[in-house]
Amino acid sequence: MNPIALEQIIKQALLEDIGAGDLTGEAIFSEGHQSTGRLIAKQPLILAGTEVFRKVFQQLDNRIELVWNCREGDSAAPGTVLASLRGPTRALLAGERVALNFLQHLTGIATATKDYVRLCSGTGTVIVDTRKTTPGLRMLEKYAVTVGGGKNHRYALDAMVMIKDNHSKAAGGILPAVQAVRRRISPFIKIEVEVECLEQVKEALTAAADVIMLDNMDLDTVKQAVALIDGSALIEVSGNITEERVAALAGAGVDVISSGALTHSVRAADISLKFE
């Protein structure tokens, strides 16, 4: 992660949540009041975002002591004490919500990703994310995917060429879209094409696409597409990716399964911070 970008993300989150000051905490506790707390897993999880969690409190008060009992990427069972904290009560309370929001969200992504990765075990199929991320949090969310054992698809539009359905429709078809791109870009840049039916698979093969993404196809159609492509291009599957479908799709011989749900609709992990 870019440390400068991370500092800015955390700063903005704290400004949003604290505003001009914590009315409750500052009214009840003196500046010198100290507290200790424990960070507890309430569900099975893959821990992600420990450095983000630490930096939230670091920005508020560098006197806060944080000791992790688990490392980034570790699995933890319900009831596990993930970490202990000690420091000024005002700062602990002011940072609690933001720190937990980041940790729960990133851990949720890593946990869901790990589940998908396990379902592909032994097949060679890779789980990747998409650009369906929370605005402003893409760097963190894509990082959490890697903690869960997944890989990152393109980070932004300037990372690679990906001709989607709207590109093809506006260009008059897959072949003219690919030809237009090839006239413009370096020969060292790969071209991915999104297809929705077997006829479009054939058109993408005629255009010599490097990657063919099978979008929202049922399993039987995916198998037919894999047979048609027959190693001529890297095969990605996307759309309606669920835990129930992942193992079957991986078994069909696809190279990559991409899922926007890993970042745009994942459930936050259940983690609590309890004072002692």
CATH class of 118-264: alpha beta
Predicted TM-score of the model (pTM)? 0.94
Q: Is 215 a catalytic residue?
A: yes
Tell which residue, 200, 151, 150, has the closest CA to residue 173. 200
Per-residue pLDDT at 274 exceeds 90: yes
CATH class of 3-114+267-275: alpha beta
Q: Active site residue: 194, 203, 236, 255, which one? A: 194
Residues in CB range of 252: below 8 A, 6 or more apart: 219, 222, 223, 226
The pLDDT value recorded for residue 171 is 95
Q: Is 158 a catalytic residue?
A: no
145 close to 126: Cβ distance less than 8 angstroms: no
- Percent of the chain surpassing pLDDT 90: 97
pLDDT in tens, 141-153: 999 999 999 999 9
The pLDDT value recorded for residue 244 is 87
Domain ranges of the chain: 3-114+267-275, 118-264
The pLDDT value recorded for residue 215 is 96
The average confidence (pLDDT) of the chain is 96
- Percent of the chain surpassing pLDDT 70: 100
Annotated binding-site residue numbers for substrate: 97, 130-132, 154, 164, 194, 215, 238-240, 259-261
Q: What is the DSSP string of 55-116?
A: HHHHHH-TT-EEEESS-TT-EE-TT-EEEEEEEEHHHHHHHHHHHHHHHHHHHHHHHHHHHH
Annotated binding-site residue numbers: 97, 130-132, 154, 164, 194, 215, 238-240, 259-261
Q: Is 194 a catalytic residue?
A: yes
Q: Active site residue: 97, 151, 182, 245, which one? A: 97
Measured in residues, the chain has a length of: 276
Per-residue pLDDT at 240 exceeds 90: no
Q: Is 184 a catalytic residue?
A: no
Tell which residue, 233, 148, 226, 163, has the closest CA to residue 193. 163
Q: Active site residue: 42, 164, 169, 190, which one? A: 164
Same fold, 3-114+267-275 and 118-264: no
Q: Is 26 a catalytic residue?
A: no
